[in-house]
């Protein structure tokens, strides 16, 4: 380029413009961005003030162990824990423990429950892991329904005694055991097919040899309706003995 000759730079009209904005009589000068800065980055947009809702994923099923309490039924337990498939699925998952009749569940029976409630297993574990303690530091007595009983004659009698204590039915371990050994020798499936009751179509059944009408009349709420169920048979017989003799302890022969 020849010396001394300079080209005059054109000034964009936009770079010098000023916009006056009225603010109660005063003017606020706001410089506009020049055309030469058109490619500058735009100011970041502010974040939305309201968070968008995000659908939550469905809670996976959680397995827990539930101890049957008096008055329970499979339908009630399934509803309480939102079991997918209801009581039929609950029965299917626990048929080996329940047996062939889904209506026959008794206090102390352990069931595997698949629940959709996220905190159900945590609450159940918290309640069962450590009994509440009063100020003195001594653990409170465990509720009868939460106890675990061995599946034998000793366990059946002890479970029956706990239920009887709740219902106000008198009787002692020795009184129950003595009468069981005389009536059935400890066989919960014993049945008498030869006496007068059997001749009338109502044979004596179970550990304490109750006939069906007596069992049904003195059945204890919360126990099975199966007369061969050991706990149900003991409690019904003791309830009958209490009404007629004052206590099973007062029974020393056929009753």
Q: Is 160 exposed, middle or buried (0-12, 13-18, 19+ CB in 10 A)?
A: buried
Predicted TM-score (pTM) of the model is 0.46
Q: Is 66 exposed, middle or buried (0-12, 13-18, 19+ CB in 10 A)?
A: buried
Q: For the chain, what is the radius of gyration of the CA atoms?
A: 40
Domain 147-250 has CATH 1.10.3470: no
74, 91 in Cβ contact below 8 A?
yes
Q: What is the mean pLDDT of each run of 10 residues along the chain (255 residues)?
A: 45 40 39 38 43 49 82 86 88 87 83 74 43 38 64 95 96 96 95 92 95 96 95 97 96 87
Give the DSSP letter string of 17-70: -EEEEEETTEEEEEEPPPGGGTTSPPPPPPPPSSPPP-PPPPPPPEEEEEE--T
220-to-3, 8, 176 alpha-carbon distances in Å: 120, 111, 16
Residue range(s) occupied by CATH 1.10.530 in the chain? 147-250
Give one word for 44, left, alpha or beta, with left for phi > 0 and alpha for psi -120 to 50: beta
Query: What is the predicted pLDDT for the residue at 146?
Result: 62
Q: Please give, one letter per residue, the 3-state secondary structure of 134-150.
A: CCCCCCCCCCHHHCCCC
Residue range(s) occupied by CATH 3.10.350.10 in the chain? 62-127
The correct CATH number of 62-127 out of 3.30.1380.10, 3.40.50.1220, 3.10.350.10, 1.20.1250.20 is 3.10.350.10
Query: What is the predicted pLDDT for the residue at 59?
Result: 56
Helix (H, G, I), strand (E, B) or coil at 112: strand
83: DSSP letter = -
């Amino acid at each position: 380029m020849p010396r001394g000759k300079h080209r005059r730079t054109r000034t964009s009209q936009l770079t010098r413009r000023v916009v006056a904005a009225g603010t109660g009589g005063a003017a606020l000068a706001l410089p506009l961005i020049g055309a030469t800065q058109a490619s500058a980055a735009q100011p970041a947009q502010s974040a939305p003030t309201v968070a968008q809702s995000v659908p939550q994923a469905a809670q996976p099923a959680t397995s827990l162990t539930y101890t049957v309490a008096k008055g329970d039924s499979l339908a009630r337990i399934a509803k309480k824990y939102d079991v997918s498939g209801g009581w039929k699925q609950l029965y299917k998952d626990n048929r080996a423990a329940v047996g062939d009749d889904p209506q026959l569940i008794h206090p102390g029976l352990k069931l595997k429950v698949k629940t959709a409630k996220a905190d159900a297993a945590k609450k159940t574990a918290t309640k069962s892991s450590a009994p509440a303690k009063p100020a003195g530091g001594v653990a409170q007595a465990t509720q009868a329904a939460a106890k675990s009983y061995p599946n034998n004659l000793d366990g059946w009698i002890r479970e029956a005694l706990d239920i009887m204590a709740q219902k106000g039915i008198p009787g002692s371990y020795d009184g129950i055991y003595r009468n069981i050994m005389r009536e059935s020798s400890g066989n919960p499936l014993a049945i008498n097919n030869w006496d007068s009751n059997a001749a009338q179509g109502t044979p004596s059944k179970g550990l304490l040899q109750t006939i069906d009408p007596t069992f049904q009349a003195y059945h204890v709420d919360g126990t099975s309706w199966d007369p061969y169920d050991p706990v149900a048979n003991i409690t019904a017989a003791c309830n009958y003995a209490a009404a007629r003799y004052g206590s099973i302890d007062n029974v020393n022969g056929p009753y």
